[in-house]
Structure 1
Amino acid sequence: MKAEIIAVGTELLLGQIVNTNAQFLSQELAALGIDVYYQTVVGDNPGRIQSAIETARSRADLLVFTGGLGPTQDDLTKDVLAAYLNRGMSIHGPSMEQIEKLFSSRGIHMVESNKRQAHTIDGAEPLFNEAGLAVGNGLSVDGTHYLLLPGPPREMKPMMEGAGRQWIRQALGESQPLYSRVLRFAGIGESNLEAKLLDLIDGQSDPTLAPYAKEGEVAIRVSTKAATEQEAVRKIDATVQAVKDRVGEHLYAQEDIPLEEAVVRLLRATRRTMVSAESCSGGLFAELVTNVPGSSGEFAGGVVTYTNVMKHQLLGIPMTQLEGEGAPGAISESTAALMAERIRELADSDFGISLTGVAGPAESEGKPVGLVYFAIAERGKPTDVHTTHLSGSRSIIRVRAVKAALYRLWQALSHSEA
């Protein structure tokens, strides 16, 4: 069963609002076992709406509309579809009563156009709006199914979750739902990951694998249709094991969480803490970690020592290390190590993490843009220093550097937990 989502509204095309409805509906339809192959956005124009209907009807069994059910003259979805299907429209009594009651309770005169929200296409099943006034419509004509939902998410979502979902099941019958699991990877690029899994991706039938990149990370969605959740888990587990056999050292989570959350969880599980000292990343490491709810138990805090003076005054790094003829400089392996060690000692934490380098736009200390050193100082162990050569804009280099440091920390925590 194939579906197409048609979002109606010129405001969507102008970028005045974001089309969050399509994301929600795609997830809902997938849970019902219905594949969404296309998403269309069309303005409030009768000719273009009709063209969108004709195109969608040629390639989908179910057309799900959002928007265009309101009281104004540019709310045209029902009118255009009714005309396209050569159907009339009538008023849905309970919805009309709801509209009249609302205006009466507010002491406001109801204009004639407000009645438009109670219109249903002849032969359609009315879908009562519990959160607003515009009635939804569900109808099947010549093997094609049409579901009309209001545009405002606060109205659309409860209608879809209730009457809309029920209507789809009645009209289309029960389908096998789609089950998915997200695998999250770090320390490997999207193209490299895909190359290692290419035969699995090219030969996929069921389950399917869909890779997609996030800055500094990669994710793969493993999906299958199954009659029961138990059957789906069995099928997905077998595919996940095949992936782990190839790239298991980069797989940090089998759920859709960021790398920093996985690190915080491991710290919590092992009852350890960390602190950070940052230069080129400008506090981004601390920002990502503190975005994880409850991370205060694992992250004691951090400092941004952007200048040599701050590195010297806050961390006690000798100026002879940072400046002068023959000095390693602020951007060096030895300075990264000292930063991590000093901040760990100051906080009496289990881990100290540091980042220093050149994020751009120009070289510094004669060193190129993208060169970043980061260090992990663990209590009772030698400090681990890494050198990375990153590409991209200033902001991208900062993100990639922080994710690289988080990945090495995740590795250290994973090995110690094992």
Structure 2
Amino acid sequence: MRAEIIAVGTELLMGQIVNTNAQYISRGLADIGVGVYFQTVVGDNVQRMKESLRIAKGRADVIICTGGLGPTQDDLTKDVLAETVGQRLVMHAPSMDKIEQMFQARGVPMVESNARQALMLEHSEPLANDTGLAVGVALTHEGTHYVLLPGPPKEMKPMFDRYAKPWIVSRMESVQPLYSVMLKFAGIGESQLEHALIDLIEAQGDTTIAPYAKEGEVAIRLTTRAVSEAEAQTKLQPLEADIRRRVGEYVYAAEDIALEEAVLRRLADQGRTLAVAESCTGGLLSDLLTNIPGSSAAFAGGIICYTNRVKHGLLNVPMEQLEGVEAPGAISEETARMLAEQVLALTGADYGVSVTGVAGPGESEGKPVGLVYVGVAARDGETTVKQLQQFGNRETIKLRSAKSALYHLWKRLNS
């Protein structure tokens, strides 16, 4: 079964909100074996909405629309679909009762336009809205299945999960879900990873290999269709084993988690703690770590030692090492080493990680943009320093440097 998602709303086209609904629905449809072939965004315009429905009908078995079910005059999705399929809009009494009771409970008069949220197509099935007022719609017309969902995610998600997905499954001749394994990589670029796996990617068939990249990390999703999870594992495991044999040293997780979460988990498993000293990343590394719930179990804290005065005053790096014609400088292996060791000693953590470098846009200390040093000090081991040459703008260099620091710590934790 092929699906198309049509997100309705001029605010989406203007960039005022992000279309997270399409991502959520696509994942949910994949779970039941429905492939999303197209995603469309259309504004609150009758003619363009009609054209989007017409095009979708020619290439999809199920069309899922989100948005445009509210009480205002620009909430047109039900009206447009009713006109498209030649059906009247009728009142769904339970939804109307719910709306009236809500206004009564608030002690305010109901504006007449709110009744629009209780409308449905005359030959459709209602999809209950457990967290809002606008009733959803499920309809099969001339062999095409239509599902209308509200736009707000807090309303759309429960309606889709509890009612729309089961309705779609009931219309499917056979259910063969998609099963996936996500492998997460760090310390290797997307092009390098693809080069190592190019023969597998070119030979893929029923089991697909899809790479995804973002700054500092790469993911490979292995996907296959199967009647059961056991059958899927039989198909996926040999391919996963081959990938691990080739590039396993860069795999930090077999699930869709960020590198910082994998590092914190490993630290917690080992009963170890981490402290960081950040110069060029300006607190970004600490921010990544503390965005993970429960990070306090392993993250002791950090120091943003952006200036030489702070490097010297708080972390005891000698000024003669930081400044002077013959000095190594703040951006050096020597300083990265001391920062990592000093933050470890200051906080009593088990590991100290430092990042110092040139984020740009101009050189610093006569050193090129993107030159970064990452130090990793261990209470029960030696200190190592890695020299990196990052590329990109200031924001990119900061993020890549923070991720590189996490990767080198992760390698240390697994050595």
Stretches of structure 2 lacking an aligned partner (at least 5 in a row): none
Residue type of the alignment partner of 1:186: A
Stretches of structure 1 lacking an aligned partner (at least 5 in a row): none
Distance across 2 between alignment mates of 1:15 and 1:7: 13
The answer on 1:224 being equivalent to 2:231 is: no
Report the alpha carbon displacement of residue 123 of structure 1 after superposing the two structures with TM: 1.9
Written as runs of structure 1 = structure 2, the 5 A alignment for 1:322-333 is 322-333=322-333
Counterpart of 1:166 in structure 2 is: 166
Does 113-122 or 54-63 show the bigger shift? Answer: 113-122
Residue 352 of structure 1 aligns to a residue in which SS? strand
Distance across 1 between alignment mates of 2:225 and 2:379: 48
The 1:87/1:354 distance shift into structure 2, 3 A limit, reads: same
State the TM-score, normalizing by the size of structure 1.
0.93
Counterpart of 1:300 in structure 2 is: 300
Q: String of CA shifts for 1:20-60, please: whole Å, max 9, x gaps.
A: 22122112211111011111111121111110011101111
Distance across 1 between alignment mates of 2:228 and 2:282: 48
Distance across 1 between alignment mates of 2:218 and 2:98: 49
The answer on 1:181 being equivalent to 2:181 is: yes
Counterpart of 1:237 in structure 2 is: 237
The 1:303/1:99 distance shift into structure 2, 3 A limit, reads: closer
Give the count of matched residue pairs: 415
Distance across 1 between alignment mates of 2:346 and 2:297: 17
The answer on 1:71 being equivalent to 2:71 is: yes
Does 185-194 or 88-97 show the bigger shift? Answer: 88-97
Residue 139 of structure 2 aligns to a residue in which SS? strand
Residue type of the alignment partner of 2:383: T
Counterpart of 2:4 in structure 1 is: 4
The answer on 1:196 being equivalent to 2:196 is: yes
Counterpart of 1:152 in structure 2 is: 152
Report the alpha carbon displacement of residue 108 of structure 1 after superposing the two structures with TM: 4.4
Residue type of the alignment partner of 1:350: D
Does 98-107 or 246-255 show the bigger shift? Answer: 98-107
Counterpart of 2:354 in structure 1 is: 354
Residue 261 of structure 1 aligns to a residue in which SS? helix
Residue 171 of structure 2 aligns to a residue in which SS? helix
Written as runs of structure 1 = structure 2, the 5 A alignment for 1:337-416 is 337-415=337-415
Does 388-397 or 99-108 show the bigger shift? Answer: 99-108
Report the alpha carbon displacement of residue 14 of structure 1 after superposing the two structures with TM: 2.3
The 1:99/1:317 distance shift into structure 2, 3 A limit, reads: closer
The 1:105/1:321 distance shift into structure 2, 3 A limit, reads: closer
Report the alpha carbon displacement of residue 276 of structure 1 after superposing the two structures with TM: 1.9
Counterpart of 1:139 in structure 2 is: 139
Percent identity over the alignment?
Answer: 57
Residue 172 of structure 1 aligns to a residue in which SS? coil
Distance across 2 between alignment mates of 1:391 and 1:252: 23
Distance across 2 between alignment mates of 1:277 and 1:95: 57
Distance across 1 between alignment mates of 2:273 and 2:106: 57
Report the alpha carbon displacement of residue 309 of structure 1 after superposing the two structures with TM: 2.3
The 1:325/1:17 distance shift into structure 2, 3 A limit, reads: closer
Report the alpha carbon displacement of residue 380 of structure 1 after superposing the two structures with TM: 4.1
Q: String of CA shifts for 1:242-267, please: whole Å, max 9, x gaps.
A: 11011100000011111122112222
The answer on 1:130 being equivalent to 2:107 is: no
Does 229-238 or 195-204 show the bigger shift? Answer: 229-238
Distance across 1 between alignment mates of 2:315 and 2:340: 9
Distance across 1 between alignment mates of 2:23 and 2:360: 36
Report the alpha carbon displacement of residue 193 of structure 1 after superposing the two structures with TM: 0.8
Residue type of the alignment partner of 2:372: V
Superposed CA RMSD: 1.9
